[in-house]
Structure 1
Amino acid sequence: MSVVDWPHHLLSLDDWAELPETPEFQVEVVEGVLLVSPRPLSFHQRAVTRLGYLVDQQLPAAFSALSEVEVVIDKMPLTVRVPDVMVAPAGLVETNPARFAANDVHLVIEVLSEGTRRTDRVMKFSEYSEVGIEHYWIVDLDDPVSMITYRLVEGEYENFGEHSGAAELDFEGTPITIDLNALTTPRAQRL
């Protein structure tokens, strides 16, 4: 689709669903306006793949982790985010939806990249808390690799820990261990 063919109005969910796939770009919509950016580089993609797998393997059976799936934050005006990793009920994941409603998402993990630092730390931080996503974890791949974990308390995110090295985390009473350094090394963490 060229710019000339682009809708001349704020996007609706139907408009969003009709957009062509664009594997070379990362696409989200914020308050009806399309946000297009280049795909992150290889180290980011490696970290996201590993992170999604590691979290999924350690979750309680009632939950499942997925990477880069659509989450509808708001329908009017439309805001759809595509977090690096998100956790939702396993039963819902098994229905294979095209996208998830924010109220079905229990955890979102964003991995900072050159084009997303401010968005992940400010915009998504605010959006995810406003829609009630209970856990928000932000991973920074700059040396030393680190993670800040937030949890929703009375409608606001509170810092529940800053981690480097082997992060010992809790999700719904289940311990999750992530070797943050292994997110960027040539070989993945072994469970």
Structure 2
Amino acid sequence: MTAVPLPPAHLLTVGEYATLGEDDAGRSELMEGNLVMSPSPSPDHNMAALRIAVQLMPQLPQDLEVITDVDIDLELVPPDQPGFSRRPDVIVVRRSARRRVRTDGGLIRASEVLVVVEIVSPGSRRTDNVVKRAEYADAGIPHYWIVDLQEPVSLLACHLTDKFGYLDAEVVGGLFTGTEPFAVNLDLEDLH
């Protein structure tokens, strides 16, 4: 029998969360200092994230890169306060972000993220469309794409405004074409 460590008995800062290391029992995120666990995504979910990443890679400008399934510090509170960290399915960041983490440690910061992509799961519909949407907007992430794999596969592209949080474009099926923050075409039919 394998011993399972007990969760921390106090609210965690993002720094404390980062020291927990990789988890192989599921996916963990940090919500206001509380460690939140969820089961690993389904194979369809993981394959869709991989296909989004593969489609994005050749379309990105040289100074950007795509990363899948990585924790980001939402930077919503001072470092010594109970923090917020999310693990989006796909992010687009400046290449310098990964180098900074490699040399300085810590997590990718929300201020380094240009696009965050969440793929809706049966148990995450409200979280992705309401909770994470508000957190990512509060964190100042300029673009949030919500991909729904229910037939027909669709993508809702949201962009941050100065006063009202995210503003939605129309929900798109088939081919998603965008110009901000870079020119992109995603074949959504390839995600299923």
TM (norm. structure 2) is 0.88
CA contact (8 A) 1:64 1:93 kept: no
Equivalent residue number for residue 175 of structure 1? 183
RMSD: 1.7
Equivalent residue number for residue 42 of structure 2? 41
Equivalent residue number for residue 133 of structure 2? 125
CA contact (8 A) 2:33 2:83 kept: yes
Equivalent residue number for residue 26 of structure 2? 25
1:153 aligns with 2:161: yes
Equivalent residue number for residue 2 of structure 1? 4
Paired letter, 1:84: D
Equivalent residue number for residue 67 of structure 1? 68
- Aligned-partner SS, 1:36: strand
- Aligned-partner SS, 1:138: strand
CA shift, 1:95, in A, is: 4.2
CA shift, 1:77, in A, is: 2.2
Q: Which aligned segments of 4 or more residues in structure 1 are displaced greater than 4 angstroms? A: none
CA contact (8 A) 2:101 2:108 kept: no
Distance in structure 2 (CA, Å) of the matches to 1:171 and 1:26 = 30
CA shift, 1:135, in A, is: 0.3
Distance in structure 2 (CA, Å) of the matches to 1:176 and 1:13 = 32
CA shift, 1:175, in A, is: 1.9
Which ranges of structure 1 fall in alignment gaps of 5 or more residues?
185-191
Paired letter, 1:21: E
CA contact (8 A) 1:59 1:171 kept: no
Aligned residues: 182
CA contact (8 A) 1:165 1:181 kept: yes
Distance in structure 2 (CA, Å) of the matches to 1:96 and 1:26 = 20
CA contact (8 A) 1:29 1:79 kept: yes
Distance in structure 2 (CA, Å) of the matches to 1:96 and 1:108 = 18
